[in-house]
Amino acid sequence: MSLEELLRACVDIGDESVWREFVGRFHALIAGVALKTARRWGENSPAAIEDLVQETYLKLCADPKGMLAEFEARHPDAFYGYLKVVTCNLVNDYYRARHSRKRDAKREEPLQPSVAVMPDKGMGTKDEIEKSVLLSEVDSVLKSHNDVADPDRDRAIFWLYYRQGMTAQAIAQLPGMDLTVKGVESLIFRLTRLVRERLSEQRCSLEA
């Protein structure tokens, strides 16, 4: 089916086979936009990205006579741009709402008495605190490494590998990564070396 025929079938028929065709054509686009937009909010969880992709499909399927019927193709690639806008808006609306709920929850929390900077309980052991500090230092190095084509993607790959335990192959298969398995492995190697060198320089500077 042509794009026009597929959209008309989604609106008029809407059976499972038609939507399977729709998903097959546009999944990579929707997943890639959802991933890129979510990363701007600091989200790197593959499960969270997949949930947002499914929410986009639900939005399109729930009201096809509105979302799809109202679309008018002004040029051959117009629908791809339309899907990008729909997906991006849905992801942004989700995180805006979540951040708003967090702010409201903080306002409602009763004031707590002030505590010492490092109480005996509640902030974790010495090892846990040192680990937290180290992770913060590593992330600062990654954020400063912005003279590359896609620094946010590179930082996400680093943490997906070291914090989420994902393999290079699994990362390469994520929508929007645009890297082979070897490419992911090479990137992780370069970033790991960069982090070690920068942290070593910082330690030497403090000891000087």
Model pLDDT for residues 145-181, shown as the tens digit of each residue:
777 778 888 888 888 888 777 788 888 887 677 888 8
Average pLDDT over all residues of the chain = 77
The mean-pLDDT minimum among 23-32, 63-72, 146-155 falls in 63-72
Phi first, then psi, for residue 117 (nearest 5°) are -60, -40
The answer on pLDDT for 108 being more than 50 is no
Q: Is the pTM of this model over 0.75?
A: no
The answer on pLDDT for 68 being more than 80 is no
Structure confidence at residue 82 (pLDDT): 83
Hey, which of 30-44, 61-75, 96-110 has the most confident mean pLDDT?
30-44
How far is residue 42's CA from residue 44's CA, in Å, rounded to a whole number?
6
Tokens standing for residue 160 = 């997906």
Pick the CATH number of 3-106 from 3.90.199.10, 1.10.1740.10, 3.40.50.300, 3.40.630.30: 1.10.1740.10
The residues spanned by each domain of the chain are 3-106, 126-203
CB-based contacts of 155: which residues, under 8 Å, 6+ apart? 139, 142, 143, 145
CB-based contacts of 61: which residues, under 8 Å, 6+ apart? 14, 19
Q: Tell me how far apart the 2 most distant CA atoms of the chain are, in Å.
A: 73
Which residue in 13, 10, 30 sits closest to 21, CA to CA? 10
